[in-house]
Chains A and B, each alone.
Chain A
Amino acid sequence: MNRSSWSKPGRICLVPLALLLAVMPLFLAGCWDSVELNRRAIVSGVAIDRGETEADKYVLSFQVIVSEEISGEKARGIAPVALYTGKGRTMFEALANASRQTARFLSLGHVRVLVISEKFAREGIRDIMDVLERESDTRLTSLMFISKGQPAKDLMSTMTVFSKIPANDLVEKLETTSKQFGYNYRLEVDEVIRGIQLRGGGPTINGVQTTGDKENAGSNDNLKTIAPKAILRITGLAAFKDDKLKGWLEGETALGTALLQNQVKEFPSLVEDKEGGFIAFNVYQSTVKIAAEGKDPEHPLIIVNISQQAALKEGPSTLDYSNPEVIEGLSDRLTAETVNMIQLAVQEARRLGSDYIGFGEALRRENPRGWNRIKDHWEDIFQSCEVRIKADAVIRHTDMRSNSFQVNN
């Protein structure tokens, strides 16, 4: 009797005991992947420059957030970010190299901005992209930029007014411009990779540069005047062929390109007035569809369908805006403006010899077999293929007034 009542609790105890024994060493051995937050150096942006020699081909500059300066109570009045630079034959070696200077683990999980120097971009960015895609810590949602005409490192070391972290400032600037005025748009790592893989084409990447007094851009002095001495600003689009930068797109060409890529949210469009001056419209919606007729893949027909909605923003003329015919006429000219932009964009793409617009993809969707036959010499066909643009713009309203006020006389 006694024995049986002993053995039963014994059996129950054995399992947890065994588990405890199994778990205890785990606890003693420590937690392999656990890293305390104050052992991390959070990297907000990375600049990638081309070194002088092959031995230090990759010059990586890491913009590390000094958190105490940003939200701590014990701020020392030093810079909100610190820049560490490492060199190496590969990206990974450069990272390892840079970590020698940092007291903490360089953590790439929050990299929001990747800036590649123009020099590197002209040489080719394929090798850079591999590690960005492979590494599990980095994120595919980081934004890519090309620094226009200056080392990428400069852009990581420019003090900015609004966001204390320059990388965040850059992101916010991009978002503002893409929402309201521009042809720049969010471009993330995986989109660049897909762009590079575009047969006969390449990605288009936002450009960025600093203007003004570049010498003192990295110090607090930059912000002491009302007009900052150096300003970080978004510029044109860098057009690539495969992974190499071919040229910069600016103004209407860039806008046309962004339209073709269906990435424009809202932009101002101007129409010349007969009486002189301009009438300004806010185009707040534009949808582009690119189709192809490719029965004969050697001579495809690319059809660009674009429909836009706009509102009159500024029109100081004597036109009668309450007359539908006038509005109709204006929207026709708006359409013509758009068609012009797209034509400019296509011309520029042909000039650069790169189908970054994606006409080839349209043909491929239409006629995959034909595409397979011609894809090797798509560049030639792209130069000469017929492009038909069907544009349609609607002016939905004239905002808060109908006709413009006139000087009474």
Chain B
Amino acid sequence: MTARHGSSGRSEAEAAGGRREGVERRISPVLGESLRNIQAEVGYSPDIKIREVRLGSSPGIKAAAVHLSGLTDTQALNEFVMGSLLQNTDLLTDDPAVHLPDLLLGRALEIGEASIMDEWHDILIAILGGDTAIFLDGYTDVILCATRGGEWRSVSEPTSQLVVRGPKDGFVESIATNISLVRRRIHSPKLRMETMKIGSETRTPVVMMYMKGYASDDLVGEVRKRLEKVAIDEVLESGFIEELIQDKTITPFPTIYNTERPDVVVGNLLEGRVAVIVDGTPFVLLLPAVFTQFFQSAEDYSQRFDIAILMRIVRYLSFVVLILGPSVYIALTTYHYEMIPTTLLINLLSQRENVPFPAFVEAMLMEVAFEFLREAGVRMPRVIGQTVSVVGALILGSAVVEAGIITPIMVIVVALTGIASFAIPAYNMAIAGRLIRFAFLLLAGMFGFYGITLGLIVMVAHMNSLRSFGIPYLSPFVPLSVRGQKDTILRLPMWLMNTGKSPQQMRAELPKSMQVTTGHEATLSPAIQKNEELQQKRREEDSDEQE
């Protein structure tokens, strides 16, 4: 179908395109011209399908349905759009008083969602998003039928954040499916959504979701504001947005939580957080996020509370081991050997005989090797990945010890930190820990416990200076809130938790002086400021061109 217009219309269309540069393209009442415009706009892409029909009795009204193959739900298109268009021929009259698009929309089309539009740009974006546009000869109004669909991955178990007990469904790449997964769990009119398109080229649908009355209006307003300020070309993953809306960019710590699990999103919505769902990725952003949140798992609420507390303590402990494990070992052996029990010391000493590297270098080498291993294991195809980790962990580890290059105890320490990093439920927090670990290693190698202590002070101060959408990162520990401890390291039994309040509600109850103001310009990250500047620049360029 497209081929007919293809070669013949090209030069003309290009000429038309050139002529119209900078001028708003409009829908022509002449059907052929509209279609050519569309073809030209998308660069004669083969996946744009145009089906020209004549409605009503001969000669009938010329019409054309335009859609993008692959993105549309073919069944819906065939049955409810094309079928209903061509079958309801008796409706058509030649009465000029009748507005044909309205008539069709109101009487003929069987599809559930359809609208009339006359903005060229919006129509184009809709077609590119998978809708079907029906052009009618003689009208500048276009009927848009929601036929979005096509092939998506079906809902399956999430690959990260696994649980032993709990729901097994995970988000997919389709935003509609993702919204439905949340909706299915909250049958409440308070669940609100706002859609926006982000990315000047990708025009990715992004949905901001919150519970009215749970999330504070300040927060919702602030998120909206920051989302609106995002100006980038492409949004391929929620990470793109995450980096642009967070409070601060220069920190290893994540200040926005992401999850693949609808139940986690629901739980957090009810705690007053805002979710940002981005089309094309199963990872949904939750904000604001505080430090403790990264140590919570959906399973904590499925298990008994005492067991959940134990699991949480284990996770925090694993974080401490992750960042301090190798550095404490270095500090102990090279600075404070007197603290090691004598028999253990003798053991370590005999291991260290004939090892060529200083303990610090040894630790660095092993840690870096472990990072190689982990990176290789993650990126490799799953089948080979396992081989890599077996080869790395078992063979490399024992060979290195056998060869007398590394002491066995160092392999133990490194393996322990490695395992500890997997015990942290949030991957991005684990990565942060892995990075910080090297800093502490350096400090311990140079200054022993002095370095470690100062490093800890600086790290905690840094975490204290962080905010996630105005919420102090270390709350509710610092600033201390006793009522806030219900769900941090502790996880109180449900009957005690239900009386709990969300961090936002708690914040609202604080004395005015202690409330943290959100949303003034000063807290915006440099990235956002840069974005604003970029936008400003673009606007100026645009205006230049127009002149």
Taking CB atoms, residues of chain B closer than 8 Å to A74 are 353
**Interface pair A27/B349, CB less than 8 Å apart:** no
124-140 of chain B: CB within 8 A of chain A: none
**Interface pair A37/B359, CB less than 8 Å apart:** yes
Q: Which of A3-11, A365-373, A387-395 contacts B (4 or more CB under 8 A)?
A: A3-11
Q: Which of A106-114, A177-185, A206-214 contacts B (4 or more CB under 8 A)?
A: A106-114
B333 close to A (CB within 8 Å): yes
Q: Mark A68-107, 1 if CB is under 8 A from B, else 0.
A: 1011101000000000000000000000000000000001
**Interface pair B345/A8, CB less than 8 Å apart:** no
**Interface pair A67/B337, CB less than 8 Å apart:** no
**Interface pair B533/A34, CB less than 8 Å apart:** no
A44 close to B (CB within 8 Å): yes
B348 close to A (CB within 8 Å): yes
Besides the contacts A35-B335, A38-B353, what 8 more A-B pairs have beta carbons closer than 8 Å?
A1-B533, A1-B536, A35-B334, A36-B359, A44-B342, A110-B337, A110-B338, A112-B342
B304 close to A (CB within 8 Å): no
Taking CB atoms, residues of chain A closer than 8 Å to B342 are 42, 44, 110, 112, 168
**Interface pair A42/B346, CB less than 8 Å apart:** yes
337-355 of chain B: CB within 8 A of chain A: 337-338, 342, 345-355
B51 close to A (CB within 8 Å): no
B106 close to A (CB within 8 Å): no
Query: In the complex, A37 Cα to B346 Cα: how many Å?
Result: 10
**Interface pair A36/B529, CB less than 8 Å apart:** no
A226 close to B (CB within 8 Å): no
With A36-B352, A37-B352, A110-B338 already in contact, the answer to whether A8 and B346 are too (CB < 8 A) is: no
Interface majority SS (helix, strand, loop, mixed), chain B: helix
Which residue of the partner chain B has the closest CB to A75? B350
Which residue of the partner chain B has the closest CB to A36? B358
A40 close to B (CB within 8 Å): yes
523-538 of chain B: CB within 8 A of chain A: 526, 529-530, 533, 536-537
Q: Of B338, B360, B442, B448, which one neighbours A137 at CB under 8 angstroms?
A: B338
**Interface pair B345/A110, CB less than 8 Å apart:** yes
**7 smallest A-B Cβ distances: which pairs?**
A109-B338, A72-B350, A67-B349, A67-B350, A34-B334, A38-B352, A37-B352
Q: Mark A22-40, 1 if CB is under 8 A from B, else 0.
A: 0000110001011111101
Query: In the complex, A345 Cα to B347 Cα: how many Å?
Result: 45
Query: In the complex, A159 Cα to B209 Cα: how many Å?
Result: 77
152-195 of chain A: CB within 8 A of chain B: 168
A313 close to B (CB within 8 Å): no
Query: In the complex, A326 Cα to B446 Cα: how many Å?
Result: 72
Q: Of A1, A34, A65, which one neighbours B346 at CB under 8 angstroms?
A: A65
A-B contact pairs, 25 of them (CB 8 A): A1-B533, A5-B530, A8-B526, A27-B446, A33-B335, A34-B334, A34-B335, A36-B333, A37-B333, A37-B337, A37-B345, A37-B352, A38-B352, A38-B354, A42-B337, A42-B346, A65-B349, A71-B346, A71-B347, A71-B350, A74-B353, A109-B337, A110-B342, A112-B342, A137-B338
Interface centre among A34, A70, A110, A137 (most CB of B within 10 A): A34
Q: Mark B247-266, 1 if CB is under 8 A from A, else 0.
A: 00010000000000000000
B445 close to A (CB within 8 Å): yes
Which residue of the partner chain B has the closest CB to A31? B446
192-235 of chain A: CB within 8 A of chain B: none
Taking CB atoms, residues of chain B closer than 8 Å to A9 are 526
With A1-B533, A109-B338 already in contact, the answer to whether A34 and B349 are too (CB < 8 A) is: no
Q: Of B350, B448, B530, which one neighbours A34 at CB under 8 angstroms?
A: B448
Q: Of B335, B337, B526, which one neighbours A12 at CB under 8 angstroms?
A: B526
Which residue of the partner chain A has the closest CB to B407? A37
Q: How far is the CB of A5 from chain B (nearest CB, A)?
A: 5
A397 close to B (CB within 8 Å): no
Query: In the complex, A44 Cα to B346 Cα: how many Å?
Result: 11
**Interface pair A40/B349, CB less than 8 Å apart:** yes
Taking CB atoms, residues of chain B closer than 8 Å to A35 are 334-335, 337
**Interface pair B334/A72, CB less than 8 Å apart:** no
Query: In the complex, A72 Cα to B537 Cα: how many Å?
Result: 70
Taking CB atoms, residues of chain B closer than 8 Å to A12 are 250, 526
Chain A residues within 8 Å of B, Cβ to Cβ: 1, 4-5, 8-9, 12, 26-27, 31, 33-38, 40, 42, 44, 65, 67-68, 70-72, 74, 107, 109-110, 112, 137, 139, 168
**Interface pair B446/A67, CB less than 8 Å apart:** no
Taking CB atoms, residues of chain A closer than 8 Å to B349 are 37-38, 40, 42, 65, 67
With A27-B446, A72-B350 already in contact, the answer to whether A40 and B526 are too (CB < 8 A) is: no
**Interface pair B537/A1, CB less than 8 Å apart:** yes
Taking CB atoms, residues of chain B closer than 8 Å to A107 are 337-338
Q: How far is the CB of B362 from chain A (nearest CB, A)?
A: 10
Taking CB atoms, residues of chain B closer than 8 Å to A44 are 342
Which residue of the partner chain A has the closest CB to B349? A67
Which residue of the partner chain A has the closest CB to B443? A23
**Interface pair B445/A31, CB less than 8 Å apart:** yes
Taking CB atoms, residues of chain B closer than 8 Å to A40 are 337, 349
Which residue of the partner chain A has the closest CB to B530? A5
Taking CB atoms, residues of chain A closer than 8 Å to B351 are 72
Q: How far is the CB of B536 from chain A (nearest CB, A)?
A: 7
Q: How far is the CB of B409 from chain A (nearest CB, A)?
A: 10
Query: In the complex, A71 Cα to B345 Cα: how many Å?
Result: 10
Query: In the complex, A72 Cα to B404 Cα: how many Å?
Result: 12
Query: In the complex, A156 Cα to B198 Cα: how many Å?
Result: 80
Q: Of B347, B353, B358, B533, which one neighbours A5 at CB under 8 angstroms?
A: B533
Q: How far is the CB of A18 from chain B (nearest CB, A)?
A: 15
Which residue of the partner chain A has the closest CB to B445? A31
Which residue of the partner chain A has the closest CB to B534? A5
Taking CB atoms, residues of chain A closer than 8 Å to B537 are 1
448-491 of chain B: CB within 8 A of chain A: 448
**Interface pair B353/A36, CB less than 8 Å apart:** no
Taking CB atoms, residues of chain B closer than 8 Å to A137 are 338
Q: How far is the CB of B2 from chain A (nearest CB, A)?
A: 44
**Interface pair B334/A26, CB less than 8 Å apart:** no
Q: Mark B410-454, 1 if CB is under 8 A from A, else 0.
A: 000000000000000000000000000000001001111000000
Which residue of the partner chain A has the closest CB to B359? A36
**Interface pair B446/A42, CB less than 8 Å apart:** no
Query: In the complex, A33 Cα to B360 Cα: how many Å?
Result: 13
Query: In the complex, A139 Cα to B336 Cα: how many Å?
Result: 13
Taking CB atoms, residues of chain A closer than 8 Å to B359 are 36-37
Taking CB atoms, residues of chain B closer than 8 Å to A4 are 533
Q: How far is the CB of A288 from chain B (nearest CB, A)?
A: 33
Taking CB atoms, residues of chain B closer than 8 Å to A112 are 342
Query: In the complex, A8 Cα to B338 Cα: how many Å?
Result: 48
Taking CB atoms, residues of chain A closer than 8 Å to B353 are 38, 67-68, 72, 74
Taking CB atoms, residues of chain A closer than 8 Å to B345 are 37, 42, 110
Q: How far is the CB of B329 from chain A (nearest CB, A)?
A: 11
Q: How far is the CB of B353 from chain A (nearest CB, A)?
A: 6
Taking CB atoms, residues of chain B closer than 8 Å to A139 are 338
Query: In the complex, A67 Cα to B345 Cα: how many Å?
Result: 9
Q: How far is the CB of A285 from chain B (nearest CB, A)?
A: 30
Taking CB atoms, residues of chain A closer than 8 Å to B350 are 67-68, 70-72
Query: In the complex, A176 Cα to B471 Cα: how many Å?
Result: 60
Query: In the complex, A8 Cα to B530 Cα: how many Å?
Result: 9
Which residue of the partner chain A has the closest CB to B540? A1
Taking CB atoms, residues of chain B closer than 8 Å to A31 are 334, 360, 445-447
